[in-house]
Amino acid sequence: MKNIKVKRTVILLGILVSFLLLFGCSEEEDYQLVQESRFALGTYNQVTVYAPSEEEGQDIMDAVFTRVNEIENLMSINVEDSDISKLNEKAGESSVTVDPETFHLLDLGKEYKELTDGTFNIGIGTLIQLWDIGGDDQQVPEEAEIGSLLNHTDLNQLILNEDSYEARIEDPEMIVDLGGIAKGYAVDQAVQVIKNHGVEHAIVDFGGDVYVLGGNPDGNDWRIGISTPEIGESGVVGRLFSSDMSVVSSGDYERYFIENDQLYHHIIDPSTGHPTDNELSSVTVISDSALEGDILSTAMFVMGLEDGLDFVNDLEGVEAVLITKSKEVYLTTGVSDLFEIMDEEYTLAD
Nearer Cβ to Mg ion, position 250 or 289?
Answer: 250
Binding to ligand FAD (CB under 6 A) within 67-106 occurs at 72, 75-76, 78
Q: Which helix (H) or strand (E) holds 188?
A: helix 182-196
Would you say 155 or 338 has its CB closer to ligand FAD? 155
Q: How far is the CB of 66 from ligand FAD (least distance, A)?
A: 15
Residue 6, Cβ density class (10 Å: 0-12 exposed, 13-18 middle, ≥19 buried): middle
| 54-87 exposure pattern, b = at least 16 Cβ within 10 A, e = fewer | eebbeebbeebbebbeebbebbbbeeeebbbbeb
Residue 205 is a binding residue for Mg ion (CB under 5 A): no
| Residue of 286, 220, 301 lying closest to 255 (CA atoms) | 301
Establish if 177 lies at the interface with Mg ion (CB under 5 A). no
| Sign of the torsion angle spanned by Cα atoms 235, 239, 245, 250 | negative
How far apart, in whole angstroms, are the C-alpha atoms of residue 321 and residue 335?
A: 8
134 binds, among Mg ion, ligand FAD, none (CB under 5 to 8 A by kind): ligand FAD
Residue 238 known to bind ligand: no
Q: Compute the half-sphere exposure of residue 19: CA atoms within 13 Å on the CB side of its CA.
A: 21
Q: Which of residues 136-195 bind ligand FAD (CB under 6 A)?
A: 177-180, 182-183
Give the strand pairing for 202-206 and 339-341: unpaired
Q: 201 or 254: whose CB is closer to Mg ion?
A: 254
Q: Which does 287 bind (CB under 5 to 8 A by kind): Mg ion, ligand FAD, none?
A: none
Interface stretch with Mg ion, choices 44-52, 57-65, 289-297, 308-316 (CB under 5 A) = 289-297
The type of residue at 87 is: L
The minimum distance between CB 246 and Mg ion, in angstroms, equals 10
In terms of CB distance, is 67 or 197 closer to ligand FAD? 67
Cβ proximity to ligand FAD, 188 vs 254, nearer residue: 254
Q: List all residues 6 or more positions away from 55 whose beta carbon is below 8 Å from its beta carbon.
A: none
The answer to whether the Cα torsion of 179, 181, 187, 190 is positive or negative is negative
Pick what 267 binds: Mg ion, ligand FAD, none; C-beta below 5 to 8 Å, kind-dependent: ligand FAD
Question: Are the beta carbons of 232 and 255 closer than 8 angstroms?
Answer: no
The one among 91, 255, 338, 346 contacting ligand FAD by CB under 6 A: 255
298 is in an annotated binding site: yes
State yes or no: residue 41 binds ligand FAD (CB under 6 A).
yes
Q: How far is CA 298 from CA 106, 119, 202, 288, 301, in A?
A: 17, 8, 25, 16, 5
Kindly identify the residues of this chain, within the stretch 64-83, that bind Mg ion according to CB under 5 A.
Answer: none
Q: Residue 44: enclosing H or E segment and its boundaries?
A: strand 43-51
Binding-site positions for Mg(2+): 180, 294, 298
Q: Which residues bind ligand FAD (CB under 6 A)?
A: 41-43, 72, 75-76, 78, 120-122, 124, 128, 134, 177-180, 182-183, 207-209, 250, 254-255, 266-268, 270, 294, 298, 302
Binding-site positions: 180, 294, 298
Q: Which residues bind Mg ion (CB under 5 A)?
A: 250, 294
